[in-house]
């Protein structure tokens, strides 16, 4: 897979969203090379787990309907979704109702990954092997692309499968074990109702932007910190 220009990789991401209405990050591609991954639990129309691996300055993304498993007998449907900006990996908060993907988003796991073999070849062939080093998920996985369905397949369906290794376990379902944010400890309900719910935990992709100071300040705000004296609130209507 050749390196594509910025506009191409994030064009779909941009087209699907109105950035005046959603707190999600803009379609900016990172110049830095890194190997982060993030899994975001997302209670949209249907709850799913968005699995995102940093590659080529963006987050390659799949929506895993039932979430990742540590049980090698489980083959989890992973629908390929549009590349997301790197900055998205730090997003935990609420996408407003009526907007694309409306609902709360939780940072469920994060860490680094490494390819097993050539990642571009793996992605192109539909046999993509990698190792995760997350806080909740570790070890070797493979994403296998399924043949297109009879409708011609608007969606690209893949299967996310755990390989047998020291981290694998029959019946081991981390999404049942952990239901809070790995970043802030909040539940989905707390994210949904929380004041100032958007938490920007990562700004590595946006150094030198005008909003850096603001975002850094937000990132330092711990959810359980004592509230600072606030300026007078506007009267509620
Ligand atoms: Mn999603």
Tell me how far the alpha carbon of residue 199 lies from the centroid of ligand 1, in angstroms: 17
Please give the Cα distance from 237 to 231 (Å, whole number): 18
Q: 4-31 pLDDT, tens per residue? A: 454 588 999 999 999 999 999 998 888 8
Contact 61, 37 (CB under 8 A): no
Tell me how far the alpha carbon of residue 50 lies from the centroid of ligand 1, in angstroms: 5
The predicted structure's pLDDT at residue 194: 80
What are phi and psi for residue 130, nearest 5 degrees? -160, 165
The predicted structure's pLDDT at residue 199: 53
Tell me how far the alpha carbon of residue 227 lies from the centroid of ligand 1, in angstroms: 31
Closest CA to 34 of 118, 88, 114, 96: 114
Tell me how far the alpha carbon of residue 212 lies from the centroid of ligand 1, in angstroms: 26
Please give the Cα distance from 92 to 181 (Å, whole number): 9
- Counting residues of the chain whose pLDDT is more than 90, the rounded percentage is 69
SS3 199: strand
Tell me how far the alpha carbon of residue 159 lies from the centroid of ligand 1, in angstroms: 17
Please give the Cα distance from 191 to 183 (Å, whole number): 12
Instruction: Judge if pTM exceeds 0.85.
Output: no
Tell me how far the alpha carbon of residue 63 lies from the centroid of ligand 1, in angstroms: 6
pLDDT band at 148 (very low <50, low <70, confident <90, very high): confident
Supply 124's token pair: 């192109």
Q: 31-70 pLDDT, tens per residue? A: 878 999 999 999 999 999 999 999 999 999 999 999 999 9
SS in 3 state form for 34-86? CCEEEEEEEECCCEEEEEEEEECCEEEEEEECCCCCCCCCCEEEEEEEEEEEH
Residues around the ion ligand 1 (C-beta < 5 A): 42, 50
Tell me how far the alpha carbon of residue 41 lies from the centroid of ligand 1, in angstroms: 7
Mean pLDDT across the chain = 84
What single DSSP character describes residue 87? Answer: G
Tell me how far the alpha carbon of residue 62 lies from the centroid of ligand 1, in angstroms: 8
The CA distances from residue 198 to 51, 105, 224, in Å, are 19, 9, 15
Q: What is the mean pLDDT of residues 157-183?
A: 97
Tell me how far the alpha carbon of residue 232 lies from the centroid of ligand 1, in angstroms: 37
pLDDT of residue 204 exceeding 70, the answer is no
């Amino acid at each position: 897979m050749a390196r594509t220009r910025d506009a191409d990789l994030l064009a779909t991401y941009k087209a699907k969203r109105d950035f005046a209405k959603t707190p999600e990050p803009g379609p900016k591609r990172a110049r830095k090379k890194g190997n982060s991954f993030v899994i975001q639990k997302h209670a949209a129309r249907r709850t799913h787990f968005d699995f995102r691996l940093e590659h080529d300055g963006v987050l390659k993304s799949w929506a895993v309907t039932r979430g990742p498993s540590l049980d090698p007998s489980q083959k989890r449907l992973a629908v390929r979704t549009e590349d997301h900006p790197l900055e998205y990996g730090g997003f935990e908060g609420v996408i407003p109702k009526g907007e694309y993907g409306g609902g709360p988003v939780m940072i469920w796991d994060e860490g680094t990954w490494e390819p097993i073999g050539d990642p571009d070849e793996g992605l192109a062939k539909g046999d993509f092997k990698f190792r995760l080093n997350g806080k909740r998920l570790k070890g070797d996985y493979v994403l296998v692309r399924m043949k297109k369905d009879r409708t011609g397949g608007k969606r690209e369906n893949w299967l996310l499968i755990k390989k047998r290794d020291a981290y694998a376990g029959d019946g081991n379902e981390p999404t049942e074990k952990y239901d809070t944010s790995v970043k802030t400890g909040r539940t989905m309900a707390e994210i949904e109702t929380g004041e100032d719910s958007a938490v920007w935990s990562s700004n590595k992709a946006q150094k030198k932007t005008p909003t850096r100071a603001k975002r850094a300040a937000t990132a330092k705000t711990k959810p359980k910190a004592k509230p600072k004296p606030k300026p007078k609130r506007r009267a509620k209507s």
